Structure 1
């Protein structure tokens, strides 16, 4: 199958959407499918067997590390030459929306995927963007409903899509790399690095894009209340400088982005993973932590309850409740047996997940989109009685 994939985010960006896309591309290649990726930014020219085409873009002043792709004659010619069997529009708000519109104009089968609750983020970003929330919700409903099949990354996101009026919302199962992320990757050297040279102290880890909506600043007060505890904030993004200023003088380190074996060692070397974000659609980093045998303390919001089983693989606390967040972290940090039990349960849960199974669901959905498109065309051609 030949798939044209339109996405506003791709490598070298690092976030949950990019991770899902790159791992899916790996699996699609191994399954014998070919993808043309169209994306803005500074992507590589290829990802495995798949061609990646850079498109013109504009910067978003409120989120400078993400660029919005623009349609171009070169991109349209590339899609025409590629002759896709199906078009996949990722988060059709900006460039993904152009992909959806282009597919309809070309009369091609179309599937969309819903990864990011953009309307919810607009209130977080400020800059007066909150007034655009309702128009953006209507636009999302319109663009997703061009397809008739929308895959969502968690159960709560299926519900959110349905609330927005998106038809045909279904689950794209979660996946995690259980070979890379593994308890055996724990490293004394990495623990020393993440604790600022105090490996005997307790270590709380946060991983992700450092942007305002991730709510990392919520960890500052718990860190102040938990003596003998250190925080490592792995990642980069537009909010990093402000976070470093706010955490100045606190026992926290900001090692920047880590990837591959270094990231795996960071997860496995921590005692507890903290995830205070309230806007996650899934929380892939939580799954990576569980695969590493490290329990999670997260906000009971968005897709986090879909990733973390409260009381079994971690603890969920009310969003924005500093006392509850502090208490959840303290409970796990103070009880090594509980950490070990939840860590083992998290690892067992992660082992039941895999990118191949998730990708097979995607391929079946592509095939369904093709079949629906064929049926619709046949109905349109059927002569009136």
Structure 2
């Protein structure tokens, strides 16, 4: 198939979508598919990534709130670009305006909306749940729910990477939802990478002895990740046992997080580790991973932790919750520092003596299942049955 991904979230400056796009352009051709990423940019450009993979950009304005990104504005130009690329299957990677533009494209190719973002969790629920019930918030955001329901009827597939998101969208009346959890880099994450010496050094950095417990947090330093809440949770749990927390990340909330840390010597904020092997070793050397964001569509950090034999402490909503199932970790009431503190103590007081080998789907397996589902959509098959069986084969074990 020639698969065209209309990717409004793509930026060459990095991020999770760029990583996913790079993986797709590498693995898709290996599976016999041509992959074309159609993205907004400063000018028209074609960037070849091999004989069956390329990035095509069309002129578009910069996004005013973050100049690293652009957005599709000219629908006619977007339609013309799609038509010129003649897709066998058409993807769109944003639930916003570009999804409606793709839905209105007059071509015959079947299409999928890939939910790389969960705006309701990232914004509406996070902002208003302290004062409103989720049901009341959903009623207030009925126009967006109507938009999603319309898209569900216009697309053959609405692809979700977590069971919680798929179930919530389906319960809200969004048609054609399917579950395709993302995969992790094969062969990199393993309990075998655990280093007692590195663990000892990280605890020393936190001013603690080897007998203390070591938590790690990984992710962007942005508001929806709730790192200040995690800092408070670990500080509270530390009143009952010695705990060190190492946060790895970068972002515009660094000053805010350091203010929350308030000089606590047992919590250290470090820059993101770009060496993947070193990062995998750091992750495997922790006693647990702690995460605060209930708006994850998958939560790659938690998946990588589980593959490393590291249990997780995660919110009970969003993609992160999937990775705590089957005894792989604990969940807590999303948004509550005290609930996170209690969950942290519950886990750390009952840590397994040995890190189990956990099977987690590879990126290769994710794309094999996803593209097989797209092929079934081209044959006119619905998401029931075929897509569900495929998705069940790639869930976190």
Whether the 8 Å CA contact 1:8–1:96 is kept in 2: the answer is: no
1:26-41 → structure 2 map (5 Å cutoff)? 26-40=26-40
Q: Does 1:206 align with 2:207?
A: no
How many angstroms apart in 2 are the aligned matches of 1:77 and 1:368?
Answer: 26
How many angstroms apart in 2 are the aligned matches of 1:125 and 1:238?
Answer: 18
How many angstroms apart in 1 are the aligned matches of 2:205 and 2:227?
Answer: 19
Match of 1:59 in 2: 63
Whether the 8 Å CA contact 1:178–1:291 is kept in 2: the answer is: no
Q: Does 1:94 align with 2:105?
A: no
Kindly state the Cα deviation for residue 190 of structure 1 after the two structures are TM-superposed: 7.8
Instruction: Map Cα deviations across residues 203-238 of structure 1 (whole Å, 9 max, x no partner).
Output: 211111222111121112232231532212212233
How many angstroms apart in 2 are the aligned matches of 1:290 and 1:215?
Answer: 21
Kindly state the Cα deviation for residue 112 of structure 1 after the two structures are TM-superposed: 1.7
Residue aligned with 1:106, SS: coil
Q: Which runs of 5+ in 2 are unaligned?
A: 129-136, 382-397
How many angstroms apart in 2 are the aligned matches of 1:290 and 1:204?
Answer: 14
Residue aligned with 2:314, SS: strand
Q: Higher mean Cα deviation, 1-10 or 168-177? A: 168-177
Whether the 8 Å CA contact 1:208–1:234 is kept in 2: the answer is: yes
Residue aligned with 1:145, SS: helix
How many angstroms apart in 1 are the aligned matches of 2:68 and 2:203?
Answer: 25
- The Cα RMSD (Å) is 3.2
Match of 2:261 in 1: 247
Q: Identify if the C-alpha distance between structure 1 residues 59 and 340 changes in structure 2 by more than 3 Å, giving closer, same or farther.
A: farther
Q: Does 1:314 align with 2:329?
A: yes
Match of 2:362 in 1: 354
Q: Identify if the C-alpha distance between structure 1 residues 98 and 125 changes in structure 2 by more than 3 Å, giving closer, same or farther.
A: farther
Kindly state the Cα deviation for residue 124 of structure 1 after the two structures are TM-superposed: 5.7
Whether the 8 Å CA contact 1:191–1:266 is kept in 2: the answer is: no
Whether the 8 Å CA contact 1:6–1:38 is kept in 2: the answer is: yes
Kindly state the Cα deviation for residue 41 of structure 1 after the two structures are TM-superposed: 6.4
Instruction: Map Cα deviations across residues 267-321 of structure 1 (whole Å, 9 max, x no partner).
Output: 11212100122222322211110111111011111233322215x2111122234
1:279-294 → structure 2 map (5 Å cutoff)? 279-294=295-310
Whether the 8 Å CA contact 2:7–2:37 is kept in 1: the answer is: yes
Q: Which runs of 5+ in 1 are unaligned?
A: 374-385
Match of 1:138 in 2: 146
Instruction: Map Cα deviations across residues 7-28 of structure 1 (whole Å, 9 max, x no partner).
Output: 222353323x554444333321
How many angstroms apart in 2 are the aligned matches of 1:209 and 1:194?
Answer: 22
Q: Identify if the C-alpha distance between structure 1 residues 85 and 64 changes in structure 2 by more than 3 Å, giving closer, same or farther.
A: same
Residue aligned with 2:273, SS: coil
Residue aligned with 2:252, SS: coil
Whether the 8 Å CA contact 2:216–2:283 is kept in 1: the answer is: yes
1:2-21 → structure 2 map (5 Å cutoff)? 2-10=2-10, 11-15=12-16, 17-21=17-21
Instruction: Map Cα deviations across residues 241-266 of structure 1 (whole Å, 9 max, x no partner).
Output: 32222223123222223232232122
1:272-283 → structure 2 map (5 Å cutoff)? 272-283=288-299
Whether the 8 Å CA contact 1:101–1:143 is kept in 2: the answer is: no
Q: Higher mean Cα deviation, 270-279 or 298-307? A: 298-307
Match of 2:133 in 1: none
Q: Identify if the C-alpha distance between structure 1 residues 220 and 41 changes in structure 2 by more than 3 Å, giving closer, same or farther.
A: farther
Q: Does 1:261 align with 2:277?
A: yes
Instruction: Map Cα deviations across residues 28-77 of structure 1 (whole Å, 9 max, x no partner).
Output: 1211211110224699935565211234243253x676553434777555
Instruction: Map Cα deviations across residues 163-220 of structure 1 (whole Å, 9 max, x no partner).
Output: 3322111111342224112223345458636863657353211111222111121112
Q: Identify if the C-alpha distance between structure 1 residues 47 and 192 changes in structure 2 by more than 3 Å, giving closer, same or farther.
A: farther
Residue aligned with 2:216, SS: strand
Match of 2:250 in 1: 236
Whether the 8 Å CA contact 1:92–1:99 is kept in 2: the answer is: no
How many angstroms apart in 2 are the aligned matches of 1:46 and 1:299?
Answer: 40
Superposition TM-score, scaled by structure 1 size: 0.81
How many angstroms apart in 1 are the aligned matches of 2:213 and 2:68?
Answer: 32
How many angstroms apart in 1 are the aligned matches of 2:40 and 2:193?
Answer: 34
Q: Does 1:324 align with 2:355?
A: no
Whether the 8 Å CA contact 1:294–1:339 is kept in 2: the answer is: no
Match of 1:379 in 2: none
Match of 1:45 in 2: 47
Q: Does 1:219 align with 2:230?
A: yes
Q: Does 1:297 align with 2:313?
A: yes
